Amino acid sequence: MKLLVHYNHPEILLDIVESRFPDLEVHCCRSYAALGSDMAAFGPEVVYCIKFEDRPYPREALIGDPALKWISVGGAGVDHLAPWDPARLRVTNSAGVASDVMAQYVLAAILTLTLRLPAFARAQAERRWAPQEVGSIAGRTVAVIGLGHTGRDVARRVGAAGLRVLGLRARPRPMEGVDRVYGPEALEEVLAEADYVVVSLPLTERTRHLIGRRAIAAMKPGAFLIDVSRGGVVDGAVLSEALAEGRLGGAMLDVFEREPLPPDSPFWDLENVIVTPHSSSVYEGWERASAAMFCDNLVRWRAGQALDNVVDPARGY
């Protein structure tokens, strides 16, 4: 069986694959430009891939290859591959590999924004002694928009900190750690009740700009938004406007519609915004965890068993 690895730093994956599957024929492609020619020359049955360049992914090199049977994505997002024919091609992701670390990021964001730590950091940089009141999370409510792997871990973490948790998912049902679960039709109702809104959704045609003008207008005045989803779920122009006008208390943003975030983005200059460079899921050990998940799935694939984390292209997860 042939495996093509499309990643510019494949060493950890290769070590694990070669130790567990010494009979596997493996080829590495370390650039976007060479993917099409490498696919044609090597003819793999399986591809493991991770986005690693700041430009559109060469999806046609994979989706258009009739010999390819399975794409394993090393991260959670698959919007760069959509659409595909699930009757011909399986696509899996690594959802869950970073969910607890992302939940830690969200809890840190809630505390950072509430305790006004950025204001103290600015004062320190200017050598100013600037006492001020800080907030408290006691009695506050968090709305988790999207209850997949990350959303569930967020609910668990923030609930353990004493926050009330509301959740929204496509097919609502009671979930451990969530005080109440709503369906998509209740989005504005949920937003109006929340002191903190955590966006944790895949990017699909249905979710693009879901957090747009109507949704942001529905948010409680002074509420905080934390985005760990995919760039495009939140309408950045509308959000920056609401933040600049003071209608929202602040935001901590890890994903953006354009990445890297352009130097002229208003988010850089807003004092009530913290920008992080799509790093909430990048932790020490994530590559090894993703590789191990892939190898466990590869055992299933070779045995003719059902794969874990198969993505429905219509739903994006």
Q: How far is Cα 211 from Cα 188, in angstroms, rounded to an integer?
A: 10
What are the pLDDT digits (tens) for 150-166? 999 999 999 999 999 99
Give the pLDDT score at 9. Answer: 97
What are the pLDDT digits (tens) for 283-302? 999 999 999 999 999 999 99
What are the pLDDT digits (tens) for 247-288? 999 999 999 999 999 999 999 999 999 999 999 999 999 999
Q: Classify 167 as helix, strand or coil.
A: strand
Q: Where in the chain is the domain with CATH 3.40.50.720?
A: 2-97+285-302, 137-275
| Percent above pLDDT 70 for the chain | 100
- 4 Cβ contact partners less than 8 Å away, ≥ 6 residues apart: 26, 27, 28, 29, 38, 39, 42, 44, 46, 47, 48
Longest distance between any two alpha carbons in the chain, whole Å: 66
Give the pLDDT score at 33. Answer: 98
Q: 197: part of which helix (H) or strand (E)?
A: strand 196-199
Q: 90: part of which helix (H) or strand (E)?
A: strand 90-92
Q: How far is Cα 228 from Cα 259, in angstroms, rounded to an integer?
A: 14
Full-model pTM: 0.95
What are the pLDDT digits (tens) for 166-199? 999 999 999 999 999 999 999 999 999 999 999 9
What are the pLDDT digits (tens) for 65-114? 999 999 999 999 999 999 999 999 999 999 999 999 999 999 999 999 99
Q: How far is Cα 210 from Cα 185, in angstroms, rounded to an integer?
A: 12
Give the mean model confidence (pLDDT) for residues 112-128.
98
Of the ranges 111-115, 195-199, 206-210, 313-317, which one carries the lowest mean pLDDT score? 313-317
Q: How far is Cα 267 from Cα 237, in angstroms, rounded to an integer?
A: 10
pLDDT over 90 (residue 233): yes
Which residues are designated catalytic?
230, 259, 278
Architecture of the 2-97+285-302 domain: 3-Layer(aba) Sandwich (3.40)
Confidence class for position 41, pLDDT limits 50, 70, 90: very high
For 137-275, which CATH superfamily applies?
A: NAD(P)-binding Rossmann-like Domain (3.40.50.720)
Which of these, 96, 91, 64, lies nearest to 78 by C-alpha position? 91
Phi/psi at 199 (nearest 5 deg)? -100, 120
User: Mean pLDDT over all residues of the chain?
Assistant: 98
Give the pLDDT score at 16. Answer: 98
Confidence class for position 314, pLDDT limits 50, 70, 90: confident
Q: How far is Cα 98 from Cα 83, in angstroms, rounded to an integer?
A: 24
